[in-house]
A and B are shown apart, each in its own frame.
Chain A
Amino acid sequence: MEVLSRNSSFLLDGLINTILLSLSCLGIALVLGVLVGVLQTSRHAIVSMLTRGYSELFRGLPIVITLFLVFFLLPEAGISVNNYVSAMIALSLWSSANISVAVRGAIESIPPTQTEASLALGLSPIQTMRYVILPQAVRRMLPSVIGLMSNLIQSTSLSVLVGNRDFLKSAQLVIERVELMQGLSIAMQMYTLVLAVYFVLCYPLSILAKRMERSYR
């Protein structure tokens, strides 16, 4: 307990890092995911193939591998990224691939007669997508996007593998420090706390996703 109060601001820093990382990934992934998802329904074979390949690729790769690829290979290609940014890029790639699949599914679930009708009314294909299809698709994809948000928060813990100081890393540092200075192991208590905090962050989202899914069915 005493350890906790002494390190509370340190841990809080880590928690803020975790939340910021999740939110920034979510922002990027939403934009990218919707764009890629819409392009996946394109009638141009090349466009839809490329974008489908994108989501197959990043859904197929373990996140750890994507993370290492970004962290180690971008600098070799001359783009310098620190651990926070590389985690952000890798997680955005992964979650945008997942969102794009949800978007595609939602778009395809809307009857094609609607597209035909709005085209017949003289709306351009982009207008059709923007004003007719997407507003309806958003409601259908919302549960899976919220579910993904919970997944995303959990996946940000992977950024410790490239040295980002998120909540998990802060907890580990506290464990190490106490072990070195006082010679006692608080790993058990600390990891229990970490589990509890992640649970508090993610559980409401899961409940929300489940409830929305039920109400749309």
Chain B
Amino acid sequence: MSFDFAYVIHTLPLLLAGLKMTVIISAVSILFSLVIGMGGAVVRTLKIPVLSQIVAVYVDLIRNTPLLVHVFFLYFGLPAFGIKLSAVAVGIIALSLWGGAFAAENFRGGTDAVPHALIESGQSLGLSTPQIVRHIIIPLGFRISFPAFSNTAVSVIKNSAYMTSIGVAEMTFNAMDRIAYDFKTYEMLLTIAFIYLLLVWGTSYVFGRIQRRLDFNNKTRKGRGLNGGFIKKFKLSPRRAD
């Protein structure tokens, strides 16, 4: 069993085209997850009636059922309702819903941890609820829960490989396609495994750097719990209500 480098180089453009698809799907889904997650977390932290329960059900449903089944449900099940989505659309929707549910849990950890004193001071300064959400809960909650969210984001990238099962031309699909033609199983699989590792580790590294920029507390401290120093160090700069 010898490793055919020439073959790998020959098929590299195809794999990179697949990688591009993987990156696009993941990036879009991560953005949507961020929005869904933040919205869900705020709704749950503020305990908005009805909406809060809906979010709770959504999060539990998604987190306790396999992503692969979501994908099949959307791709094969929805046409019964006359909704026919393209494979790429299904991929993005499934990944976003999945990532959004996990992100909502991640962010809720952060938004719940925002000291209530800060919210009350916001109220006493005359800020409206949307302003409190916009200027206090989201910025603080986001920073606190960023490490957890970055794990979810990396998982979204890894799980984009699931879309191979409905024929989205992402990296895994392209590689499996070549394997079906040329039987260079060994070369293809090891190459995409290597590319995935670079992608996943690279992304984790970047998120780690961002996290260090966001971490306003003691940089070397391990636990990121909220202590007295947190409030003291954080300079609340309320923008004038306009």
Contact indicator A76/B61 (Cβ below 8 Å): no
A115 on the B face (CB < 8 A): no
Contact indicator A65/B172 (Cβ below 8 Å): yes
A128 on the B face (CB < 8 A): no
A192 on the B face (CB < 8 A): yes
Contact indicator B176/A68 (Cβ below 8 Å): yes
A interface residues, how many (CB within 8 angstroms): 37
Select which of B65, B80, B165, B201 is within 8 A of A202 by beta carbon: B65
Contact indicator B72/A73 (Cβ below 8 Å): no
Beyond A72-B185, A185-B80, is A206–B60 a contact (Cβ under 8 Å)?
Answer: yes
How far is the CB of A176 from the nearest CB of chain B, in Å?
A: 10
How far is the CB of A37 from the nearest CB of chain B, in Å?
A: 18
B interface residues, how many (CB within 8 angstroms): 39
- The number of A-B residue pairs with CB atoms under 8 Å apart is 110
Select which of A56, A69, A175, A191 is within 8 A of B193 by beta carbon: A69
Select which of A62, A157, A168, A187 is within 8 A of B158 by beta carbon: A62
Contact indicator A195/B80 (Cβ below 8 Å): no
- CB neighbours of B172 from chain A (8 A): 62, 64-65, 68
- CB neighbours of B61 from chain A (8 A): 195, 199
- CB neighbours of B161 from chain A (8 A): 62, 64-65
- CB neighbours of A132 from chain B (8 A): none
A46 on the B face (CB < 8 A): no
- Looking at B68, B81, B159, B162, which has the most chain A CB atoms within 10 Å of its CB? B68
B237 on the A face (CB < 8 A): no
B231 on the A face (CB < 8 A): no
A194 on the B face (CB < 8 A): yes
Other than the given A69-B193, A72-B179, 4 more pairs (CB < 8 A) read A61-B193, A62-B161, A62-B196, A64-B164
Interface of A with B (CB < 8 Å)? 56-57, 60-65, 68-69, 72-73, 76-77, 150, 154-155, 157-158, 160-161, 168, 172, 175, 185, 187-188, 190-192, 194-195, 198-199, 202-203, 206
Closest 6 pairs (CB-CB, A-B)? A154-B66, A188-B80, A62-B158, A202-B64, A157-B66, A62-B161
